[in-house]
Structure 1
């Protein structure tokens, strides 16, 4: 009997799916949780808005998320808006 031939090549599984899950879901949510707790600890107004904004921009792309995180740290050091 002839073994079946895959038409589209190998599908990702195992470690590849875990890496994709970590990069696309857990890292943005973890960064958002950090921003929320850090904003609350520093007494910034609108801590949920900062967290949601950073998470949304991380879901939009990695570099916009990094830019939002940098802006958050800048605003935090200036004492909030």
Structure 2
């Protein structure tokens, strides 16, 4: 049986309305990071950034208007979407 937990770690959400891009950061690292492009066919739709040890640090969304989870929309504007 699996268990489900509601956690609220420090997550930083940044959006750039002009470029329609967003970033969801889960952590930082002093170690070099590597980036995995996320594609829909030939189109780049986002990136995943990892720490050297494999920990997921950031998700970058390149069509934030569509891709941003509803629970995180307007969070960067001070809105609490619970």
TM-score normalized by the length of structure 2: 0.20
Q: Which structure is higher in strand share? A: 2
TM-score normalized by the length of structure 1: 0.20
Q: Which structure is higher in helix share? A: 1
